[in-house]
Amino acid sequence: MSKEYVPLIQTGQLNPGEKKIVFVKGKELGVFNVRGEFFVVQNICPHMGAPLCKGTICDKIQAEKPGLYIVEQSPILRCPWHSWEFDLRTGKSLVDDKLKARVYEVILKDGYIYCRI
Protein backbone atom coordinates (compact mmCIF):
# COMPACT_ATOMS: atom_id res chain seq x y z
CA MET A 1 0.00 0.00 0.00
CA SER A 2 1.42 3.39 -0.96
CA LYS A 3 1.66 6.20 1.53
CA GLU A 4 -0.40 9.33 1.15
CA TYR A 5 -0.85 12.59 3.01
CA VAL A 6 -3.92 12.42 5.23
CA PRO A 7 -5.49 15.45 6.98
CA LEU A 8 -5.53 15.03 10.76
CA ILE A 9 -6.87 18.21 12.36
CA GLN A 10 -6.96 21.94 11.73
CA THR A 11 -3.86 23.79 12.90
CA GLY A 12 -6.09 26.18 14.90
CA GLN A 13 -7.37 23.26 17.01
CA LEU A 14 -3.97 22.71 18.60
CA ASN A 15 -2.26 25.52 20.50
CA PRO A 16 1.43 25.46 21.47
CA GLY A 17 1.91 22.97 24.31
CA GLU A 18 -1.20 20.96 23.41
CA LYS A 19 -1.63 17.47 21.97
CA LYS A 20 -4.52 15.48 20.54
CA ILE A 21 -5.00 11.79 19.85
CA VAL A 22 -6.50 10.94 16.45
CA PHE A 23 -7.35 7.68 14.70
CA VAL A 24 -6.25 7.28 11.08
CA LYS A 25 -6.07 4.15 8.92
CA GLY A 26 -6.39 1.91 11.97
CA LYS A 27 -3.61 3.66 13.85
CA GLU A 28 -3.77 5.77 17.00
CA LEU A 29 -1.60 8.85 16.53
CA GLY A 30 -0.57 11.69 18.81
CA VAL A 31 -0.41 15.14 17.22
CA PHE A 32 1.76 17.60 19.16
CA ASN A 33 2.23 21.34 18.88
CA VAL A 34 5.62 22.09 20.41
CA ARG A 35 6.31 25.82 20.38
CA GLY A 36 4.43 26.20 17.08
CA GLU A 37 6.00 23.18 15.38
CA PHE A 38 3.84 20.11 14.72
CA PHE A 39 4.80 16.47 15.25
CA VAL A 40 2.95 13.19 14.76
CA VAL A 41 3.89 9.95 16.51
CA GLN A 42 2.17 6.58 16.87
CA ASN A 43 0.72 6.12 20.33
CA ILE A 44 2.70 2.97 21.11
CA CYS A 45 5.99 2.90 22.97
CA PRO A 46 8.48 0.55 21.28
CA HIS A 47 9.79 -0.54 24.69
CA MET A 48 6.73 -2.31 26.17
CA GLY A 49 3.72 -0.87 24.38
CA ALA A 50 2.69 2.00 26.65
CA PRO A 51 0.45 4.80 25.32
CA LEU A 52 3.52 6.88 24.50
CA CYS A 53 1.59 10.06 23.70
CA LYS A 54 0.38 10.30 27.29
CA GLY A 55 3.99 11.13 28.16
CA THR A 56 5.51 14.54 28.63
CA ILE A 57 7.48 16.77 26.29
CA CYS A 58 10.89 17.93 27.44
CA ASP A 59 14.31 18.87 26.11
CA LYS A 60 17.70 17.23 26.55
CA ILE A 61 19.94 19.85 28.06
CA GLN A 62 23.60 20.03 28.98
CA ALA A 63 24.93 22.29 31.75
CA GLU A 64 28.61 23.09 31.96
CA LYS A 65 28.16 25.12 35.12
CA PRO A 66 25.23 26.37 37.21
CA GLY A 67 23.09 28.82 35.27
CA LEU A 68 24.70 28.05 31.93
CA TYR A 69 23.04 25.39 29.82
CA ILE A 70 22.44 24.51 26.20
CA VAL A 71 19.59 22.57 24.63
CA GLU A 72 21.20 19.53 22.97
CA GLN A 73 18.12 17.86 21.56
CA SER A 74 14.51 19.01 21.28
CA PRO A 75 11.74 18.10 21.52
CA ILE A 76 11.87 14.86 23.48
CA LEU A 77 8.83 12.73 24.38
CA ARG A 78 9.15 10.88 27.70
CA CYS A 79 7.12 7.66 28.00
CA PRO A 80 4.66 7.58 30.94
CA TRP A 81 5.54 4.01 32.00
CA HIS A 82 9.34 3.78 32.38
CA SER A 83 10.39 7.32 31.36
CA TRP A 84 12.39 6.26 28.33
CA GLU A 85 12.83 9.24 26.06
CA PHE A 86 12.39 9.55 22.29
CA ASP A 87 13.41 12.28 19.87
CA LEU A 88 10.17 13.54 18.31
CA ARG A 89 11.95 14.44 15.05
CA THR A 90 13.50 11.03 14.41
CA GLY A 91 11.70 8.70 16.83
CA LYS A 92 15.08 7.46 18.10
CA SER A 93 15.32 6.35 21.70
CA LEU A 94 17.80 8.18 23.89
CA VAL A 95 18.15 5.00 25.97
CA ASP A 96 18.55 2.25 23.36
CA ASP A 97 19.65 3.20 19.85
CA LYS A 98 18.00 0.04 18.45
CA LEU A 99 14.53 1.28 19.45
CA LYS A 100 12.54 3.85 17.54
CA ALA A 101 9.09 5.32 18.10
CA ARG A 102 7.12 5.57 14.86
CA VAL A 103 7.08 9.20 13.78
CA TYR A 104 5.45 10.56 10.65
CA GLU A 105 6.33 13.25 8.13
CA VAL A 106 4.11 16.31 8.66
CA ILE A 107 3.06 19.07 6.29
CA LEU A 108 0.72 22.02 6.79
CA LYS A 109 -1.69 22.88 4.00
CA ASP A 110 -4.84 24.97 3.81
CA GLY A 111 -5.02 25.27 7.59
CA TYR A 112 -4.74 21.51 8.21
CA ILE A 113 -2.04 19.29 9.66
CA TYR A 114 -1.35 16.38 7.31
CA CYS A 115 0.81 13.36 7.94
CA ARG A 116 2.19 10.86 5.46
CA ILE A 117 0.82 7.47 6.36
Question: Does position 81 bind ligand FES by CB under 6 A?
Answer: yes
- Number of residues near ligand FES (by CB under 6 A): 8
| Smallest distance from ligand FES to CB 48, Å | 4
Out of 79, 113, 115, 117, point to the residue binding ligand FES (CB under 6 A): 79
User: In this complex, which beta carbon is closest to ligand FES, that of residue 31 or of residue 45?
Assistant: 45
Going by C-alpha positions, the residue among 43, 6, 45 that lies closest to residue 25 is 6
Burial 9-42 (b: 16+ CB within 10 A, else e): eebeebeeeebeebeeeeeebbbbbbeeebbbbb
Q: Determine, following the binding rule CB under 6 A, whether residue 5 of this chain makes contact with ligand FES.
A: no
